[in-house]
Structure 1
Amino acid sequence: MYNLLDEPWIPVRWGPDAPDGEPPDRVGLREALLRSQDIAGLAVAEPPAHAALLRVLYALAARVTGLDEAGPGNWYRRREVIGDAGRFPAAGVASYFAPRADRFFLYDPDRGRPWMQDIRLAHQCDPVKTAGVNKLIVTRPSGNNHAWFRHGSDARPDLPTAPEAVLNLLVWHYYGPSGRCSAREVNGVKSASTTAGPLRTAMSYHPEGASLFETLLAGLVPPKVTVRRTQDLCPWETAELPDPEELPAPPTGPCARLTACSQHALLLEPGGERGEVVQDAFITWAYRSGRIERDDDYLIWQISKQGNRYPRPADSQRALWRDLDALLLHRMTEDDGPQRPAVFDSAEELGEWPLRVRALGFEQEGQAKDTQFVEGSTPAVLGHAEELKASVRPAVARLRQYGELYGRRLDRAVKRAWAAYVDDAKADGGTWSAEAAARYWPGAEAEFWARFRRLDRTSRTLGGGLDLDTTRSAFLRLAETSFDTVTASVTRTLRGAKAVSDARIELYGGRRRNR
């Protein structure tokens, strides 16, 4: 009943040279790997589901290629041989899936091991108080929550299809909230509190090639020499389900870190004749106490003022180009700004592939509040990382700094103009601020990429040939144009014209204070 190896549930985009006329728009896990060279990329609409599915596919790609261990031989050379072959080995795919096919059933009441689920929830949770399918599908309103994308009723929900349910199952494993959840009783003790998922609030960055094959191979990170596949297990590979009363075991290698760090336990109930829809869901905590250490090779890591390491959060107001220098450039010292995702260190070795950067995230709070999906993509810039010599790196950072500088100044200017116009120093100029940002940032992004492409990567020109004066003037003009457009409606009155004129100085740094 509905085995994820062969049932079509993964939405894909096929490349122009894909055979078979009109290939299906969804594939199973087996076909996703075997035909990855013909697939241009995943067509998952929700960024958090896309990021979660990529991690599962990374783990499977590592397994079928033998790149889940450091040896034998040089890991980079072995990956190069697979890259030259242009496809994942069919023998490796077959030998991995054949003995584990029964672990990929979406529903498995007989054997008791449905994929990425805990069958014990059927009797450890109250069957009358299930989470329901509206809670499972993260874009639906449930309970007393406000409607986000659509209206719905918990009493008579639209049953999601199995493919939709699987993708949302993954979102819960990686982005699930902390706080109250459905009660789960284990050994006579009932509790209803869970910890946030490993990617909650974080922005995830992935190298992306011309095909799914290139994307998955570029997304692999070389494991430490101590990693053993017999210990570095994915959830569907373990002999037993984890003990919910024991402290969660830390991952011992990349495959466990990619797939086995969930703090949530879920169980889907099948509907329809063969499970083509899901009619109900249990969602609760996976461990009574403790948390798996948060670590991930696809996040930008920052250090707080208190010295704590944390991932850069997803921000729907922040364009991807503003993170480019943090993504491409190595830190010179431990104190030299954010730490870029570890995956880019190994992806750069595939210099002959034109790799883009795909950013995927979910702007949300640690507990229940979800704000907005976040997604972005760069041109094929990853190959430039080796070309960015020490003399050019400051130019990339300066480009980003100028763009952000005049964005901040524009925000201060329009807020000051609004406060002066309404004669209230505490007035909220959010409307003007949002409109100014919507006008400035797209132009700033275009300006950034245009100047980035013109940088001299030969080290023959000081600073990559970036003209600081014209660069500064270009971003300033964008800020001036946005400011003038947003404030134009009030300049017809004397008070409005004075407010706008006085606030305009913020674009140039504000008035200097006498010491």
Structure 2
Amino acid sequence: MPTHAYNLLDEPWIPVRWRPDAPRPADGELPDRIGLREVLERSADITGLAVPVPPAHSALLRILYALTARVTGLDEAGPGDWGERRQQSLEDGHLPPRGVDSYLARYRDRFFLYAPDGGRPWMQDPRLAAQCDAGNTAGVNKLIVTRPAGNNHAWFRHGSDTAPDLPTAPEAVLNLLVWHYYGPSGRCSAREVNGAKTASATAGPLRTALSYHPEGNTLLETLLAGLTPPETTVRRTEDRCPWEWDDLPDPDAAPPVPSGPCSRLTACSQHAVLLVPDERDPGLVREAFITWAYRTGRIPRDDNYLIWQISQQGNRYPRPADSRRALWRDLDALLMNHPAGASQPQQPKVFDTAYEVSEDLRVRALGFEQEGQAKDTQFVDGSTPPVLGYIEDLAPRTAPAVARMRQLGEMYGYRLERAVRRAWTTYMDDAKADAETWEAEAGARYWPQAEAEFWARFRALDRTGQSLDVGFDPAATRAAFLRLAEQAFDAVTASVTRTLRGAKAVSTARLELYGGRRKKKKTP
């Protein structure tokens, strides 16, 4: 296959899950992977994406949101009511075929994975071949985020930078997207522009953040629910995706500021990447250039799929991805317009209108627990049952109950942590004794059961408005979470209660589960 023939509109690179009743071809087998064109054309036959890497899943959804907005005409506010036009696409049961055909035909040349002879490869910068040192590239092990590279430890697989296993084109494309959205700050491959060589990059727009997406029973519902109404001033001729640019941006100039939803979804990368195909098999990637996209400045960080909150210093930042934090603990911030909390969390804007597509939408959380620079810790991927019917605008009475259940669940989790820590330090007679082992075991026992308790009580809430208390019993809920904390505490500390010192330490620390020893009021 010649390199110029690998077009992402047609080549099968996106893993999907098909609906059981999806029409099958003559041979009876539906493909595991399909191209962008078929994803858009058959979105109603697809349950969802099957991307195994959560940050790649998150990035690909943003690409598909932008394409969906383009082919439906929902990239601009008018003509007519935006919500009604979106609803029409849902009622049609498919994205408009004419819109899909005309848009993809117009930009077909910009979706080639490789573009020799001066072309524009998709989401890449061909200038890197001349501006970077071909003898000192990042390499394919650096490109694939699950691989060890350089002097890093090998956790899941062994590899060598001198003789790496070449990734397939589908694997390389998904990791290309991870770099654009979640790439680190700090030192990267050197790039020389206008006689000046530098090797420092700014972090990607989603680095460290957890991304929340409404999810329907079909990919069509998911994509339509993921769109947000554009401002009335947005014009598609200005609000462009990278593959729509007439010219590549100037690396020496300040990065262009996104002017609408499509550019915010796709054109906020701070990294420049170029993939090099294997000469013998264009289905494999032999080399990768990864470097900075703009020498100075940073694209304003804004995204409609993040929970934004305020730091103690008054700075706005997205809620970070935390692999130890279950999704139910964020639920009130997703369903309520103004959830309680010192950090003043702001509901992701996408949930302002997502429920109009369906009240049975779930929430999918996708992210990458990582630091601003090089350290990556763990992927984050979580999903709720259908919850959008409980959003505050639809069921205002349930909102305080959801918030209170979350608060109680977290309160007893924190009390449990303090209790086992105090039990250990008292038993060891050392205030600085490391109680991490006990804390981890207690958390492993408590949080999964607390999550199950939360969802059981959540499903019992009445959102019809017929019950004034929406079926929420604060006392019973408090008692249920306390019981789980007590059980975890007893299990973790049981090994030391056979001695008098241990029994006394555990008995004293147990008070933390109930709020700790009350301080006596000073008499005047």
TM-score, normalising length: structure 2? 0.96
Where in structure 2 are the equivalents of 1:46-61 lying within 5 Å? 46-61=53-68
SS at match of 1:112: coil
State the Cα distance separating 1:465 from its structure 2 match.
2.8
Deviates more, 1:284-293 or 1:499-508: 499-508
Query: CA contact under 8 A between 2:362 and 2:384: conserved in structure 1?
Result: yes
2:41 is equivalent to residue 30 of structure 1: no
How far is the alpha carbon of 1:390 from its aligned partner?
A: 3.6
Q: 1:7-156 counterparts in 2 under 5 A? A: 7-20=11-24, 21-156=28-163
Picking from 415, 421, 440, the partner of 1:434 is 440
- Return the offset for 1:500: 1.5
Change (3 A) 1:480 1:326: same
- What are the superposed Cα offsets for residues 69-102 of structure 1, whole Å, 9 maximum, x if unpaired? 1111111111111110010111111100112111
Could you list the per-position Cα deviations for residues 27-80 of structure 1 after superposition, in whole angstroms to 9, with x for gaps in the alignment? 000000001111110000111000000000000011111111111111111111
> In the aligned structure 2, how far is the partner of 1:104 from the partner of 1:111?
14
2:209 is aligned with 1:199: no
Report the CA distance between 1:503 and its aligned residue.
Answer: 1.1
Q: Distance in 2 between matches of 1:460 and 1:102?
A: 57
- Aligned counterpart in structure 1 of residue 326 of structure 2, from 319, 328, 331: 319
Taking structure 1 as reference, are residues 367 and 332 closer, same or farther at Cα in structure 2, changes over 3 Å only?
Answer: closer
Alignment partner of 1:304 is 2:319? no
Contact 1:2 1:274 in 2 (8 A): no
Partner of residue 6, structure 1: 10
Residue 356 of structure 2: SS of its match in structure 1?
coil
Alignment of 1:389-408 (within 5 A): 389-408=395-414
Tell me, yes or no, if the aligned pair for 2:392 and 2:399 is still in contact at 8 Å: no
Output one character per residue of 1:278-303: Cα deviation in whole Å (capped at 9) or x when no partner.
11101000000000000000000101
Residue 317 of structure 1: how far off its partner (Å): 1.1
What is the match of residue 475 of structure 2? 469
Q: Deviations over 1:360-379 (max 9, x none)?
A: 01000000010110111000
CA distance in 2, matches of 1:309, 1:387: 25
Q: CA deviation at 1:337?
A: 3.0
* Residue 376 in structure 1 maps to residue 382 in structure 2: yes
Q: How does 1:284-295 map to 2 (within 5 A)?
A: 284-295=291-302
- The residue correspondences of 1:494-513 to structure 2 (distance < 5 A) are 494-513=500-519
- Report the Cα distance in structure 2 between the residues aligned to 1:356 and 1:204, rounded to whole angstroms: 14
What displacement does 1:203 show?
0.3
Answer yes or no: is the 8 Å Cα contact 1:133–1:159 preserved in 2. yes
Which of 490, 493, 508 is matched with 2:499 structurally? 493
TM-score, with structure 1 as normaliser: 0.97
Q: Is residue 177–residue 368 contact of structure 1 (8 Å, CA) maintained in 2?
A: yes
Distance 1:311 1:19 in 2: 41
Secondary structure at the residue paired with 1:156? coil
Pair 1:337 & 2:341 matched = no
- 1:463-482, CA deviations, whole angstroms, 9 ceiling, x for partnerless residues? 42311111100000000111
Report the CA distance between 1:148 and its aligned residue.
Answer: 3.3
Identity %: 73
Please say if residues 110 and 120 of structure 2, whose CA atoms lie closer than 8 Å, have aligned partners that are also in contact.
yes
Contact 1:139 1:148 in 2 (8 A): no
Q: Which residue of 2 aligns with 1:346?
A: 353
The answer to whether the Cα contact below 8 Å between 2:363 and 2:386 also exists between their aligned partners in 1 is yes
- Which has the larger displacement, 55-64 or 15-24? 15-24
Which shifted more, 415-424 or 402-411? 415-424
Give RMSD over aligned pairs.
1.5
Q: CA deviation at 1:136?
A: 0.3
SS at match of 1:32: helix
Distance (whole Å) between structure 1 residues aligned to residue 333 and residue 408 of structure 2? 15
Secondary structure (helix, strand or coil) at the match of 2:145 reads: coil
Match of 1:212 among 219, 226, 229: 219
1:354 aligned counterpart, secondary structure: coil
Contact preservation (8 Å) 2:221, 2:357: no
Q: Which amino acid aligns with 2:378?
A: Q
Residue 255 of structure 1 is matched in structure 2 by 262
User: Match of 2:416?
Assistant: 410
The gaps in structure 2 that reach 5 residues or longer are none
Match of 2:283 among 255, 276, 283: 276
Provide the rounded CA distance (Å) in 2 between the counterparts of 1:76 and 1:110. Answer: 44
Q: 1:335 to 1:435 in 2, by over 3 A?
A: closer
For 2:157, give the aligned amino acid.
R
**Paired amino acid for 1:470:** A
